[in-house]
Amino acid sequence: MHEWSIAYSVVKTLIENFNKKISKVTLVIPLFSFLDIKILKEAFNELKKENPIVENAELEVKIQEPTFRCRNGNREFKFSDIQQQVGEVKNSYGEEYPLHLMPELLPAFVKCPYCGSHDIEAIGQEIYIEKVEEYGAVERVS
C-alpha cells in the first residue's frame, strides 16, 4: 500500500531532521494521488510509536487539487474539469483501477476537456511536508 510507504517516509524524514519532540506535521498530498487518508493516518500512528521524537505527533493532511496542462492547446484545467472522465475509468476497472495504482497513466485514460487531446501533464503532483511543529516552536519545511 502506498499509504504505508508514505507514512514511513514522513516518519523517517522527521526523525532524521529534527532533534526536538514534534507535536504536529502537516502533509500536502495531491487530490489525484487517490490515497486513503484514514489508512495514511493509521500507518503514521503505528510507525510513530517507534521513536520518541514523533511518538506524540499529530498528522494533518491537506488535499491539494492539481492543475493539468494540455500540451496540444496549452490550456490549463482542474481535476474537477475531468472528474467525470476519471469516474468512468474507476467504474470500468473497479477499486484497483489503473489511475489509483499509477496516476502517471492519466493521459492514457482522460482527454483535455477543451480539445480532446491525450497530451496532458499534471502540475502540482508533489507530496510534501508543509509544516512541522515542535513542542514550543514552529518550523516550516517547504
| Model pLDDT for residues 62-83, shown as the tens digit of each residue | 998 888 999 999 999 988 899 8
Indicate the number of domains in the chain.
1
pLDDT, tens digit, 9 for 90 and up, residues 110-130 = 899 999 999 998 887 789 999
14 neighbors 57 (Cβ within 8 angstroms) = yes
18 neighbors 123 (Cβ within 8 angstroms) = no
- Per-residue confidence at 137, pLDDT binned at 50, 70, 90? low
On whether residue 84 sits in a domain, the answer given is: yes
On whether residue 55 sits in a domain, the answer given is: yes
Expressed as residue numbers, the domain containing 39 is 2-136
> Which of helix, strand or coil describes residue 54?
coil
CATH classification at residue 86: 3.30.2320.80
Percent helix / strand / coil, the chain, rounded to 5: 40, 25, 30
On whether residue 48 sits in a domain, the answer given is: yes
Whether this model's pTM surpasses 0.75: no
On whether residue 16 sits in a domain, the answer given is: yes
On whether residue 141 sits in a domain, the answer given is: no
